A and B are shown apart, each in its own frame.
Chain A
Amino acid sequence: MAAPLELSCWGGGWGLPSVHSESLVVMAYAKFSGAPLKVNVIDNTWRGSRGDVPILTTEDNIVSQPAKILNFLRKQKYNADYELSARQGADTLAYIALLEEKLLPAVLHTFWVENDNYFTVTKPWFASRIPFPLSLILPGRMSKGALNRILLTRGEPPLYHLQEVEAQIYRDAKECLNLLSHRLGTSQFFFGDMPSTLDAYVFGFLAPLYKVRFPKVQLQEHLKQLSNLCRFCDDILNSYFRHSLGGKLAPLQLSFICVEYLHILLGLYKQNSLLIEEVCALSLNAGL
């Protein structure tokens, strides 16, 4: 299709093209189906919107939500599933439902609700990509949204308590990971040799959990024991996302911002170049 497809989504880090599950699903699907997608990473300028991300923009359409974006891409003839049989298509829907019901609550909890993880990793990362003063409000709102979703779908009315559901959601998530591992077995992708929609969804949900460095890591530890799922994520990253530097540039950008603030605060203009060199070296090592 000649019309340019632009995707605005959250950026990458820790070796991933994006740390946001839904954005990652869409990016992976686009790679699998060969759709030419121009990725606009959300940064801390006021350009672009931050709600309902990821958003696909074409000349006449604006599509949000991964399921709708994938449908739209399929209609534009970018279909990663044309080799699947009807029954495999049905299995895809079922496994996506399993991911959303069993794995998503625990992933949301690990990223947005668990205090150690949220305050040391998630909030600073997202706040650095949102312009002030929204950076004070938006991460908190996203966290409340995640907590809401967990409690409303898993909690027991009329009094919703997090402690009661925490143990249950992690247990369900571990069971879900085990089921996925059994289903994947030793094959490269879930349906044979070519990646499909289900692979995009599984990659989108698992990769951030696998790669992002958290203080509280019980689910991550469980995932790392399932070696075929880890191999699955690494394979996709190496084959389809090797040339994207999004993941590598983000820590570099972040470090430049830190350096600038340091200069302003400490007045270290004389040692400017030395500091930048050191930070460059550090972040390149970290990015690789």
Chain B
Amino acid sequence: MSLVAEAFVSQIAAAEPWPENATLYQQLKGEQILLSDNAASLAVQAFLQMCNLPIKVVCRANAEYMSPSGKVPFIHVGNQVVSELGPIVQFVKAKGHSLSDGLDEVQKAEMKAYMELVNNMLLTAELYLQWCDEATVGEITHARYGSPYPWPLNHILAYQKQWEVRRKMKAIGWGKKTLDQVLEDVDQCCQALSQRLGTQPYFFNKQPTELDALVFGHLYTILTTQLTSDELSEKVKNYSNLLAFCRRIEQHYFEDRGKDCTFLLLCIHGNF
């Protein structure tokens, strides 16, 4: 969006309060959604819960194509459609709700840096595992990605997406990495997050911020998704304060409010 269009949209956004019928669109929970998209969707849901804004989750097979930027999840609020966590945070801020107002400039810089760390390492590792690791691609990803479509569209779309993701991996230098190197990067990232969190309840002590929502989204999805092997979730389980962090946010923002998160509840038992 150009600068002028963005300024215009945030003016309009600021004018109206948050409606009751705001909806979040993602792919089908049971059969279609993949690890990275689920993590992103959960992060947005967690963020909106932390802001106390009601949101209804709707699953559609073509959510990716409906989204203005091609990425899920996206929210439909009033007559605006905003996708991805970054723009959604700004949109919500224009409406007057913010989690990071209490932070000073240095803390805001740190928060943004850690959010980029999660995007740079965790998200890329998830994409790598889903689309560049042959075992996972064959057994899980292709089948799930193409499940709503008839033959031969399911194969064509899956191969197209795989080609796109592989191009991106090559451009950023991850094309030549082996799975072990990727898992090591995940470990490094989790170690950094664990050290930053320390013994605090949230990353910036008493109050959660969008960083907490993002980290929760990714770590929780990694812990609760069944993949061909457990190596990825094992890396996260090594850090007990991260596990406690996930449990705390889940209890406080999802279970207490009686939200319907069938995907979450199905997988949580036996993992902690």
Q: Which residues of A contact B (CB under 8 A)?
A: 65, 86-87, 89-91, 93-95, 97-98, 100-102, 145, 148-149, 152-153, 156-158, 167, 171, 179-180, 182-183, 185
- The answer to whether A94 touches B195 (Cβ under 8 A) is no
Q: For residue A102, which residue of chain B has the nearest CB?
A: B116
- The answer to whether A91 touches B196 (Cβ under 8 A) is yes
- The answer to whether A91 touches B172 (Cβ under 8 A) is no
Which of A93, A145, A153 has a CB less than 8 Å from the CB of B117?
Answer: A93
How many Å from the CB of A217 to the closest CB on chain B? 20
In angstroms, Cα B171 to Cα A65, docked, is 14
- The answer to whether A95 touches B113 (Cβ under 8 A) is yes
Contacts of A152 in B (CB 8 A): 167-168, 171-172
How many Å from the CB of B167 to the closest CB on chain A? 6
Which of A98, A145, A180, A183 has a CB less than 8 Å from the CB of B116?
Answer: A98
Contacts of A171 in B (CB 8 A): 3
Contacts of A180 in B (CB 8 A): 109
Decide if B101 is an interface residue (CB 8 Å cutoff): no
**Taking chain B's interface residues, is the majority helix, strand, or loop, or is none over half, making it mixed?**
helix
- The answer to whether A149 touches B195 (Cβ under 8 A) is no
Decide if B62 is an interface residue (CB 8 Å cutoff): no
**B170-199 vs A, Cβ < 8 Å mask (1 yes, 0 no):** 011100000000000000110111011010
- The answer to whether A90 touches B69 (Cβ under 8 A) is no
**B97-131 vs A, Cβ < 8 Å mask (1 yes, 0 no):** 00000000110111011101101110000000000
Which of B70, B172, B188 has a CB less than 8 Å from the CB of A93?
Answer: B188
Decide if B164 is an interface residue (CB 8 Å cutoff): yes
Interface centre among A65, A101, A102, A148 (most CB of B within 10 A): A101
Which of A87, A148, A182 has a CB less than 8 Å from the CB of B109?
Answer: A182
Can you spell out 27 A-B residue pairs with CB atoms less than 8 angstroms apart? A87-B196, A90-B193, A90-B195, A91-B196, A93-B117, A93-B189, A93-B192, A94-B110, A94-B114, A94-B116, A94-B192, A97-B113, A97-B119, A98-B112, A98-B116, A101-B120, A148-B167, A152-B167, A152-B168, A152-B171, A152-B172, A153-B171, A157-B70, A158-B164, A167-B2, A182-B105, A183-B109
Contacts of B168 in A (CB 8 A): 152-153
- The answer to whether A179 touches B113 (Cβ under 8 A) is yes
B153-175 interface (Cβ within 8 A of A): 164, 167-168, 171-173
- The answer to whether B119 touches A101 (Cβ under 8 A) is yes
In angstroms, Cα B106 to Cα A94, docked, is 13
- The answer to whether B195 touches A86 (Cβ under 8 A) is yes
Contacts of A93 in B (CB 8 A): 117, 188-189, 192
How many Å from the CB of A264 to the closest CB on chain B? 41
Q: Given contacts A179-B113, A180-B109, A182-B106, list 4 more A-B pairs with CB under 8 A.
A: A65-B173, A93-B189, A98-B116, A179-B108
Contacts of B109 in A (CB 8 A): 179-180, 182-183
In angstroms, Cα B107 to Cα A179, docked, is 10
Interface centre among A65, A98, A145, A156 (most CB of B within 10 A): A98
Which of A97, A102, A149, A183 has a CB less than 8 Å from the CB of B106?
Answer: A183
In angstroms, Cα B109 to Cα A237, docked, is 26
Contacts of B106 in A (CB 8 A): 182-183, 185
Closest 9 CB pairs of A and B: A90-B192, A94-B113, A179-B109, A97-B120, A97-B117, A98-B113, A182-B105, A94-B117, A90-B195
B46-73 interface (Cβ within 8 A of A): 69-70
In angstroms, Cα B190 to Cα A94, docked, is 11
In angstroms, Cα B239 to Cα A74, docked, is 24
Q: For residue B105, which residue of chain A has the nearest CB?
A: A182
Which of A86, A91, A167 has a CB less than 8 Å from the CB of B110?
Answer: A91
How many Å from the CB of A199 to the closest CB on chain B? 15
Contacts of B173 in A (CB 8 A): 65
Q: For residue B121, which residue of chain A has the nearest CB?
A: A97
How many Å from the CB of B225 to the closest CB on chain A? 23
How many Å from the CB of A53 to the closest CB on chain B? 13
- The answer to whether B108 touches A89 (Cβ under 8 A) is no
How many Å from the CB of B189 to the closest CB on chain A? 7
Q: For residue A100, which residue of chain B has the nearest CB?
A: B120
In angstroms, Cα B167 to Cα A94, docked, is 25
